[in-house]
Structure 1
Amino acid sequence: MLKSLKIPRKLGLSFLVICASAAAMMAVFFTNISMIRETTALNNAAQGRYAKALALETALLRQNSQMRGYLVTGDKSYLKSYEEGRVDYDKTSVELETELTDSKLRDAVQLSRKETLAWRENWGDRLIRRVDRGDLTGAQAEVQQAGKAVLVSAAVLPLRDVRDAQLALIEKGSATQESAIDTATTVLIVGGIALIGIAITLAWLLSRAIASPIASLTRTMSDLASGRNGVDVDGTDRADELGDMARAVLVFRDAAVAKQAAEAAAAKAEAEQKMVVETVSSHLSELAGGNLTAEITREFPADYAAVKANFNAAVTSLRGLIASVMEATVSIHTGSGRIAETSEDLARRTEANAASLEQTSAAIVQMDQRLKTTAAAAGETVERANGAIGTVANGRSVAEEAVSAMGRVADSAKGIDSVIEGLDKIAFQTRVLAMNAAVEAGRAGEAGRGFAVVADLVSALAMRAEEEAGRARDQLTATQTDIVAAVEMVQKVDSALVEISSDVGEVHSLLDRIAQDNQAQSFAITEVSSAIGTMDQTTRQTSAMVEESSAAARNLANEVTYLADQAGQFTVGSDAAGATRRSPVHAMQDRVAQSLSADMWDAA
């Protein structure tokens, strides 16, 4: 079955099996993740309801404590906290009742609200109104006589039932999460092992169905490459791509057999080619020895007849060219001698002009260097003026930072004043707590005497703290006065630095104009020096070119002599030498001499 399937179909079926297994594992894993997510949402909701129930208890206790503080001290600031606790309770109780789905728990919240309203009517709001009417002592006495009746326990107890119920839901949800996590972990481990096993099995099957036949075809192609054309090709009966490859290898084997037959026919043609190469090589050896009369007379096969004709024509042309060169060398030698004498005279005159230009250029360079030195000194003076301006600017920035630091110190002093005011309030609250503790100790009777003594000591300590805060405030006032004086002095220093900066700026402007004038003069002298230097360099180049022309003419005479000697080594035959025409050679000599003379006069 695997032999009849194409390779892409085999690979596709293998990947389909792996993907199906992975999809099944992912479905189970997703189910457990969804369960964990749902349980987490329920736990979060239960935790929110638990927090709101706890907030309701805190609001009730806050109302009770702030009402007691107001009854003890008569301070209106307790009423603000009392009202805040009241608003928090009313808002949170409505939200909690809306979120609860259990009727018993909703009834508990409603019962708590009912008890809270009754407590406000019977105790909280009524006693506050009594104090507002001026009967603080009567309200305190009523609270002391009421004992536990003034507490908010009846409103707090139903809320604890709600807290316990939400805590039970949270624990149940946590257990469900742990179970789902364990299941997901098990599925992940088992599914992963199963996928690995499936992958290994498919890899083994694909290796037998694809890799092994490919290795066999590779060995067969290696045998064909090494020249063993009698090998058998396996797998030609397969219907997949490997069968196509096997049939292609079979075609290669048949082609190799046909190639062997063609090589035998090529051996005969190679023998004829060898004869032609040997003949041409022997005549080329004679040409290398200087014999320009060595033409091919041996008969060549019809395919190589053009090689013989071309070789003989090239030898004839070369023999005529060498004969012309031998005659032209004599005339060129005479003309190059006259050119060399003229070039030497022109070189002497050019060197004299170059020496005069060199002296002028040296004088201009000295003037340029002195102006550049003056411009550099002016520039350095400007840079130092810039440094002075920067120093003054830094001084102003330091003065501004000092003023800013003084301002921050003043702000810090104001913050310290507010801290001292807070300490006054803390001392006052401490006295209030001491009074409240004294009231509670009085209600306790004999058992509270020791606590009453501690309350008196705390009250004395609070009075002493108020006195120390007053002293600190006086010292802070004196410090603020000194800070204001210091800020005024720093501002005067900043004004002086502004005047200095203005004067230094004017000096900087004058120095900058001087430096610009010096730089302009230096630039002009530099341009003149550059022009003279260019003229000097051009004159020297002209002199060098004339000397090179003279040397080239001498070398040309020597080379012509050498060329005549070399041309004399060739054998051209008496007929070829006599048949050479002289007029084109003489014309070429005249053109070369005229061209060299014109180049030398242009350079001068």
Structure 2
Amino acid sequence: MFKSMKIPRKLGLSFLAICASAAVVMIVFFLNITMISTTTDGNNLSQSIHARSIALETAILRQNSQLRGYLVTADKSYLKSYYEGRDEYDKTSVELENLLPRPRERDLLLQSRTETLAWRKNWGDRLIERVKAGQREAAEEEVRNAGKAVLVSAAVLPLRDIRDAEVALIEQNSARQEGAIATARVTLIVGAIGLIGIAITLAMLLSRSIARPVAELTRTMGELAAGRNDIAVPDAERRDELGDMARAVIVFRDAAIAKQAAEAETARSDAAQRMVVEAVSTHLSELADGNLTAEIEREFPGSYATVKTNFNAAITSLRTLIASVTEATATIHTGSNEIADASEDLARRTEANAASLEETSAAVAQMDERLKATATAATQTVDRANGAIETVSKGRDVAEGAVQAMNRVSESAKGIDSVIEGLDKIAFQTRVLAMNAAVEAGRAGEAGRGFAVVADLVSALAMRAEEQAGQAREQLTATQTDIVDAVTMVQKVDAALANISGDVGEVHALLGRIAEDNRAQSSTIGEVSTAIGTMDHATQQNAAMVEQTSAAARNLASEVTGLAEQAKRFNVGHVAKRMAAPAHGDRFAGPVRSLPPAAIPALVRPAASPDEWQPF
């Protein structure tokens, strides 16, 4: 069936088979690239949602911790951080609501927002106002009595559900990415092998069905022109243009045989022979010069009329044959040029696709670098969190040392109180002794007046010592009270530091998971970059194969041109279709439209040498 087709139909079907195979490979490859791009966008959205949910949880915990710090210390710096956490929560909540694509996650976010606003109204903002109004101890007592009611777990748990859902989506998208990459890799390998096999098969079929028969027919015509009339003409049974040419050559051969028979017949009659020989020789001379319009007009006598009829029929058949050969060679030449030009267009498009793949590979490499930088930053943040945990631990140690020091001061104060009590007793006894001395001086009369003055002074001094001891005892009692309050405050600071340590530990764990997710995503992007590089290399090899197909079509056009040059030696008496070689740089109007120059980016890599495509 293939052998009986016309040559343009054979060439068209061959080109259509190559284009269809390449189109199937490109469509499948495009679908897989689209799948990879879609899943990558989904992962980016999930990661953004995951990060903002973590930021919301951090903002909630920050408000809770800063509220407790303000309740303990009444330091306004805690209020500044509390309001910053509140503003950050409100802003990030709006951003996250705009990003969430699923109603269930929006409901979870609204639940978290409702619980957060309720916590602010019932606890955060209300307790801050009470502390500002001077009711700090009452606010602290209310928090201690509230138990779990003051916690922010109800606002945090919906955010964790959102994070868990996004982590599951990231895992699903990663699995889809891996499947798309595997499918693209298999499609590329199978498509490349299929295109190579189709190209080799079509080249062998076209060479066997067109080029080889044309060469054999050309050799047969040369032998017939040399005078050999006993040759066998091949491919006369074919139904294409080559079969028409072979049957015309058979007519030419029969005409030559008829010529020989006519010459034998003229040998039996001298006069008729000379006349017939002269006429036939003259026309054959014109025929040898390539004039296929040299029909015999002169009347032949007797049986020689058949020679005239056969000669004229042979001339007519040969003229028709040469005209058909000329038209067929023009058609073959045009078809081969179209195949060559279309193959060159396909090669340029393949090179353009390779350039796009290379740019895609560079973009994926940049994504990989950014993900690695993000993982590095998360790791550094984890290190900073470790430092913060260590600092908080040291602060707790310092607070514990302060409590112990306060306890030692309290014990010392008790010793000082004992000393003051002893001094008070000494002062009392001294005053008693002074009174006794005054009594004795009164009994002595004038002799004891000076001693009485001294006794009065000692009594006054003892009373003053008692007063100073009483003031020292009151001051010491106030100091002991302050020490007890200070110990209580330091213990509260230690409890706040313990809460901060727990919150920083949770942040540390979250950042560790973020860094691990970024490293996994970076690994996936690296595999995608490797796959795209492999596709780029295979596309370049496909371009080289198409260029070789174009070279084969040019060689076929050259062979047909040689056949057409031989056919031009004959004058067929009318204007035949001439084979016009396309001017240099002309484009053919074939089934494939050329790309505009702006659609073909310059390739980054240098042009490959022929040795690099030797495997083809």
Which TM class, normalised by the smaller chain length? 0.3 to 0.5
| Structure (1 or 2) with the larger CA radius of gyration | 1
TM-score normalized by the length of structure 2: 0.37
Structure with more helix by fraction: 1
